Structure 1
Amino acid sequence: MTTSHAETIPAPKRTLRAALSDPTLKILASAILVSTVGRGIFLTLTVLYFSRFVGLSAVEIAVILSVSSGVGVATSYIGGRLADRFSARRLLVGMVAVQGLVIASYPFAGNFSTAVVIACIAVGVDRGANATRSAIIARAFDGANRVNARAVLRTITNLGIAMGGMIAGLALLTGTADAFRGMMISAGVVYVLSALHLRRLPARVDAPRRDPASATQKRGISPFRNPRYVVLTVLSGIFGMQFGLAEMGVPLWISQDTNAPDVLISVILVINTLCVVLLQVPLSRGTEDPRRAGKIVMTGGLLMAIACALYASAHGVPVIAAITLLCGAALLHSFAEILSQAGAWGLSFELANPLQAGAYQGMFGMGSALGAMLAPLVVTATVVEHGALGWTILGAVFLASAAGIALIARKASTTAALT
């Protein structure tokens, strides 16, 4: 299997700086830092832009998010499959560039129909790019270094989004439609610039060329015929709804159902960002071991259930109490995110067929896209519509999905020990 310089780094020294000494990871990280600054601008402004200046309702925005995420379910697998057949480098460069152009076109969406079309293209290309990037990581690194690479990139992603969010604050302070449009177009331009940097990726991240003489050679079981991997994908996608909860449910809950000031939404974003930047890499260590990965995900599920209870408790209490409860919930939510991601990454790599890295990572990406598709509708149907009862339902869902993943991990580790 392909190795990299990162594998020469002993586990105890797998710090962010040490990991970035690997040329391939350094290229991926620098490109992601640039693109996620644009993503931070985009995430901060898009929903407000559609609501304030286009006049879309909360239901219409939820439909846009869900429909576009549904497209992403399909393109996640397609992107992974293409990365097994063509140059993953060129695919990633092209997809990121297209995504930038589409993001820059968001300000020109003047109605619901146009917004749906643009969102479908943007999210579809984004999911395909994520699957392609995961296939590149699966080929460029081995064992613990694959999870470590994902953790490093996740850290860089949050840092970039936070920077973009702060930049987007200029548009929020101005409050005009032109300021929003200018920032969103700038976000698209930043994406295109990051695509140019990805051209430096080495050729070894591409799938090995197929020998026509051995076309009949077995490539292992397809991800769709691997029940364990399918269930892992579905359960990870369900737990992944916590991202949609953070992006949509929590802000709406704070602004509409608690006495906390709206500025707390930004504070919670900062809490999440700091936690991920500081802890994602160290807390991801060891998750190449399925048993440890399962335990970590289960811990994340318990923390997420408690966070949901704290979010619910912030309703109707005085301002100081609401702020305290919401910040505590956000802290636990952040730890749940970090642990669940780390464990899921480890299992997604270790339980996959290495001969079809793109297809398996594409399948796993479908789970994330599925969670993103369901999240707006589920959050609306639970938290937005039913308040505390909705939070209780969500907490139970997160806990059950984490328990299912932990069970898969335990069985996988037992099977490995017997073989």
Structure 2
Amino acid sequence: MTTSADDSRTARLLATLRGPSEPRQRLFALSTIVNTIGMGIFISAGTIFLIRSAGLSPTTVGIGLTVGSLVGVGAGVLIGDLADRRGAREVVVVAMALEAIASLGLVLVDSLWSLIAVATLAAVGRTGSVSARGALIGILAEEGKGAQLRTYLRAVTNVGLAIGTLGAAAVLAFDTRQAYLAMIIVSTLTFLGGAAILSRLPHLPPTRVLNRDADARPDRRWIALRDRHYLGLTAAAAVASLQYSVLIQALPVWIVLRTESPRWMAAMVMFVASVLVAALQVPATRSIDGPRSAARLLVRSGPLFLVAWILMAYASGPSAWIATGLLLVGVVVHSLAEVWQAAGTFELSFALARPDAHGQYQGVMGLGHGIAEAVAPAVVITLCISAGKLGWVALGVIVTVAGVVCAMVERHWAASRATPAGTLAAEPSAG
């Protein structure tokens, strides 16, 4: 027999799954899903296009993408600050336009230098878009619910990625120049479509007006870069974010080279993970009601990653059916850990930031993630593929410790805001 409390919890969950009712937030969500469909296609087939159709070697592709990412990684802080001072909507639209240009520019890639140029432009657009979106979320979300909106948008993102992954499977099945060109055109159109939808939002006033007598001074303007708590959180969260590269870079190679599982599992794991994250992201994180509960989820996610990666590691050796079963169970556990880690990081990235400078703070967080993303292929391939099973365990321990450090930063931040009487100070700490 159900109680009124159960009915209330069910009603709240259903309302959350339906998404935001506020029109501007719904427009934001629509823009996100349109954009990420094309992103899902390219994540799954883009590297293969550069090798199979553009004629570049795998080494050249790896170098070009890494260099481009490193060159563009610092742009997020500058663009996020620009969004705070000039208006987030316009900055996001321009950043997405840069991504569209970079996407279309892929058809001209025929050498390392042209790849670096396109990859740099794409990295500037991507990091800028992420930072400016953080500012936009801070404006559109109700007070104290920025992480909740971002969590919902991440679920929407994974729906788009799952759809895009199916499109990539079709492209890879044809494996022709025409199919790859169609993929690039679709990806470009999704960036433009997402920007067009977002441009329907009304102008949103800047959250931070630059004061020439104070804020213009470097030591006053770049507040996020002087916030020790936020920099500590960014560093620990960047290390924890290595987990994202496991499913994209390490696991497909592990499946093909080290297991008896069918090769199509290399694409299937990405699809399964996208579907699971889309389904689990909102309901699995509804327990978050502040920074402390977010930190607890981050701590819990680490051991789950460790379990998931041990299952994946031990898929090497058994028969195809057993290996496939271990991989699928591992992906399920990994997906739950991922939604916990993502939601916990989202909450802390907003809670520890100054409300009038979300763009700049999200830019700093994006800078950390960008650096981690650039070095992640070398780290996860070395540990998971070259080092074998012990490497999977080592990576799990590293990510677990990083989650614990995030929680320690949150505790220190909370303590620094408390007055001697035990109440919270009026202004957030800047370090």
- The reply to whether TM is greater than 0.5 is yes
Report the counterpart of residue 314 of structure 2 in structure 1: 313
C-alpha spacing 1:284/1:201, structure 2 compared with 1 (3 Å):
farther
Farther-moved stretch of structure 1 (99-108 vs 46-55): 46-55
Report the counterpart of residue 155 of structure 1 in structure 2: 155
Provide structure 1 residue ranges, at least 5 long, that are not aligned to the other structure. Answer: 1-9
What does 1:146-295 correspond to in 2, within 5 Å? 146-204=146-204, 206-210=206-210, 222-295=223-296
Answer yes or no: is the 8 Å Cα contact 1:304–1:395 preserved in 2.
yes
Aligned-partner Cα distance in 2 for 1:333–1:35: 25
- Encode CA deviations 1:68-109: one digit per residue, 9 max, x unaligned: 222342011112111122122111111101211211221321
Report the counterpart of residue 5 of structure 1 in structure 2: none
SS in structure 2 opposite 1:315?
coil
- Encode CA deviations 1:392-416: one digit per residue, 9 max, x unaligned: 2211211111111121223334455
Aligned-partner Cα distance in 1 for 2:213–2:122: 39
- Encode CA deviations 1:288-337: one digit per residue, 9 max, x unaligned: 51211111001111111111211111112211111011111111111111
Provide structure 2 residue ranges, at least 5 long, that are not aligned to the other structure. Answer: 1-10, 425-431
Amino acid at match of 2:285: S
Normalising by structure 2, we get a TM-score of: 0.89
Give the CA deviation at 1:51: 2.5
Amino acid at match of 1:379: V
Answer yes or no: is the 8 Å Cα contact 2:98–2:121 preserved in 1.
no
Aligned-partner Cα distance in 2 for 1:74–1:220: 17
Aligned-partner Cα distance in 2 for 1:220–1:125: 23
Answer yes or no: is the 8 Å Cα contact 2:208–2:357 preserved in 1.
no
SS in structure 2 opposite 1:203?
coil
Give the CA deviation at 1:214: 8.1
Aligned-partner Cα distance in 1 for 2:174–2:13: 47
Normalising by structure 1, we get a TM-score of: 0.91
C-alpha spacing 1:212/1:76, structure 2 compared with 1 (3 Å):
closer
Give the CA deviation at 1:219: 6.9
Amino acid at match of 1:275: L
Report the counterpart of residue 51 of structure 1 in structure 2: 51
SS in structure 1 opposite 2:130?
helix
**Percent of residue pairs identical:** 29
Aligned-partner Cα distance in 2 for 1:275–1:347: 23
SS in structure 2 opposite 1:54?
coil
Farther-moved stretch of structure 1 (219-228 vs 315-324): 219-228
- Encode CA deviations 1:219-248: one digit per residue, 9 max, x unaligned: 798111111110100111111121122111
Aligned-partner Cα distance in 1 for 2:265–2:36: 22
Answer yes or no: is the 8 Å Cα contact 1:40–1:165 preserved in 2.
yes
Farther-moved stretch of structure 1 (139-148 vs 78-87): 139-148
Report the counterpart of residue 5 of structure 2 in structure 1: none
Report the counterpart of residue 131 of structure 1 in structure 2: 131
C-alpha spacing 1:14/1:220, structure 2 compared with 1 (3 Å):
farther
Farther-moved stretch of structure 1 (108-117 vs 292-301): 108-117
Amino acid at match of 1:202: P
SS in structure 1 opposite 2:204?
helix
Amino acid at match of 1:94: V
SS in structure 2 opposite 1:40?
helix
User: More helix per residue: 1 or 2?
Assistant: 1
SS in structure 2 opposite 1:357?
helix
- Encode CA deviations 1:7-26: one digit per residue, 9 max, x unaligned: xxx96665132x33111211
Give the CA deviation at 1:343: 0.4
C-alpha spacing 1:210/1:79, structure 2 compared with 1 (3 Å):
closer
C-alpha spacing 1:90/1:42, structure 2 compared with 1 (3 Å):
same
Aligned-partner Cα distance in 2 for 1:253–1:58: 17
